[in-house]
Amino acid sequence: MEGAPANEQIASPRRAPSQQRSRERVERMLAAASQLIAEQGSDAMRMGEVAERAGVSIGSLYQFFPDKRAIIWALAERHTTEGQACISAALADVRDAEGLGQAFSELVDIYYRLFLAEPVMRDIWSGTQADKALRQLELADSRANAEFLTAVLKRLRPAADPVALETMAFLVWQMGEAAMRLAVSVERQEGDRLVAAYKRMALRELLTE
**Residues within the interface to a copy of itself (CB under 8 A):** 1-3, 6, 8, 41, 43-44, 126-127, 129-130, 135, 139, 163-164, 167-168, 170-171, 174-175, 177-179, 181-182, 185-186, 190, 193-194, 197-198, 201, 204-205, 208
- According to the binding rule CB under 7 A, does residue 6 interact with DNA? yes
Rounded to the nearest angstrom, the gap between the alpha carbon of residue 108 and the centroid of all alpha carbons in its chain is 14
With CB under 5 to 8 Å by kind, the binding choice for 163 among DNA, a copy of itself, none is a copy of itself
Distance CA 35, CA 203 (A): 36
We find the least distance from the C-beta atom of residue 124 to a copy of itself, in angstroms, to be 10
Distance, first Cα to last Cα, the chain: 48
Measured at the CA of 32, the angle between CA 27 and CA 38, to 5 degrees, comes to: 125
Which one of a copy of itself, DNA, none interacts with residue 58, CB within 5 to 8 A by kind? Answer: DNA
- Considering only residues 67 to 106 of the shown chain, the ones binding DNA according to CB under 7 A are 67-69
- The interface with DNA within residues 13-72 (CB under 7 A) comprises 15, 17-22, 25, 45-48, 56-60, 62-63, 66-69
Contact by Cβ (8 Å): 103, 203 = no
Pair 176, 111: CB distance under 8 Å: yes
Residues that bind DNA (CB under 7 A): 1-7, 11, 15, 17-22, 25, 45-48, 56-60, 62-63, 66-69
